[in-house]
Amino acid sequence: MKKYRWLIILLFTAIVLIGYFYMKPKIEAKNIEYTYTSLHKGDIEASVSSTGTLEAINTVDVGTQISGTIARIYVDFNDKVRAGQLLAEMDMKMLQTALQSARANLAVSQANLNQVEDLHKRNKLLFEKNVISEQEFNTSKFALEQATSTREAARANLTNALVNIGYAKITSPINGIIIEKSVDEGQTVAASFSTPTMFIIAEDLSKMQILADVDESDIGYIKDSMKVRFTIQTYPDATFFGTVSQIRLQPIEINNVVNYQVVIDVDNKNGMLIPGMTASIEFITQTAKNVWLINNSALRFRPDQTMLEKIKPILEQKAMQTLPDSLAVSFTEGLNNEELFTPANFKKNLPSKVNGFFYKNDAGKLDFRFIEVGIKVGLQSEIISFFDGSDITQEIKAINGIKSKK
């Protein structure tokens, strides 16, 4: 009798344990409390971030083509100048000396030419009368040609001296503003190998440009005439706008990452922006106003495995009823794949523009709805439509979390 009593106790204990583990998921499922987020209307904007440097649209380096000492400088930083305005003068002493020397050399060569010319004329008459030999005549002829060339070289030297005197007066080639002055009075500049830069003139600072470096992964989103928003550290409360005017195709490698330079035109009529400032830029790639939005926490929500198993028939049914045929087949195949049928991966076969969220239907049961997604940003996404064709309303509450009751 004792033997049967122990068997009965063991059997009863086994039944209780089996019943507990069988009923546990259902008990826990009843104790699940969901958190929700509402669908709502609003504006959404997608952007690509970058940084860049403000520059004048057109700058001209003004230098000198002659070597010498700077005698006078008539402008300074930030001075506005007109085209043709005198900016600086070189010391004229050496130039005047070179001019006098060139004129003297021209006079000597001209006198020599006159003498040789007279001699050649006389020899020509004597040669025609057979008084002198052909060799003597040709010698005078060659002497005339040489003297003529010497005179032309002296004339060119004089012209060069006059041109150098003209270069001694440095004038502005454009209307603009002096943004850099790299010389001072009394400084000697040498133009032996390259033209030394004395001033940099920005043509018009009421219009500027930003040169922004954009990563290769984002450059495909950037288009000509795209609107750009940027801020400057100096004015933390101000927002500025510009427009993409050029996408330069030459790749630039920065820290082992390929970048492309984008030129942004900026209006600076108020004069707040200065060349060299660093701009924090947002290229506005997409924008939509007064559209339906959903918090991304609902799209990222992961049910536990028990919930997923429970709703699997609903997922298959909704997919076959609402999704395009090829997409529905691909999604349901994923539901029957052990690797994909997990809380993290069950939506992996959906393209980026298709997603879905869990909700409680009118009967109070767990349900799922497929949506077409538009613009996606960090916190929220645009809902273009429900695939089942139903209306989007604020009354719909999307599940974005769960917590078990204690």
Distance between CA 44 and CA 381 in Å, rounded? Answer: 8
Phi, psi of 106, rounded to the nearest 5 degrees: -65, -40
| pLDDT score for 13 | 63
What percent helix, strand, coil does the chain show, rounded to 5?
35, 40, 30
171-191 mean pLDDT: 88
Asked if 373 and 384 count as a contact pair (C-beta separation under 8 A), the reply is yes
Could you state, in order of their start, the residue ranges of all structural domains in the chain?
Answer: 29-45+292-404, 48-57+208-285, 59-87+173-203, 92-167
At 402, the pLDDT band (50, 70, 90 cuts) reads confident
Residues facing residue 373 across a β-bridge: 383
Q: What is the separation of C-alpha 289 from the centre of its chain, rounded to a whole number of angstroms? A: 26
300-316: pLDDT as tens digits: 999 888 889 989 999 99
Q: Which of 27, 104, 94 is nearest to 67 (CA)?
A: 94
Domain 92-167 has CATH 1.10.287.470: yes
Fold equal for 48-57+208-285 and 92-167:
no
Tokens read off for 190: 């040498």
At position 167, the amino acid (one-letter code) is Y
- Pairing of the two strands 68-73 and 86-90: antiparallel
Q: What is the pLDDT of residues 109-128, one digit of tens each?
A: 999 989 988 888 888 888 88
Neighbouring-strand partners of residue 242: 228, 266
CATH superfamily assigned to domain 48-57+208-285: Efflux pump adaptor protein, beta barrel domain (2.40.30.170)
41: nearest Cα among 247, 236, 294: 294
What's the pLDDT tens digit per position in 71-124? 999 999 989 999 999 999 999 888 899 999 999 999 999 999 899 888 888 888
CA distance 22 to 18: 6
pLDDT at 375 over 70: yes
**pTM reported for the whole predicted model:** 0.68
**29 pLDDT tier (thresholds 50, 70, 90):** very low
Q: What tokens does 356 get?
A: 């879905």
CATH 2.40.50.100 fits 59-87+173-203, yes or no: yes
Name the helix (H) or strand (E) containing 100. Answer: helix 93-128
Give strand ranges (E) for 12-113. Answer: 32-38, 40-56, 59-63, 68-73, 80-81, 86-90
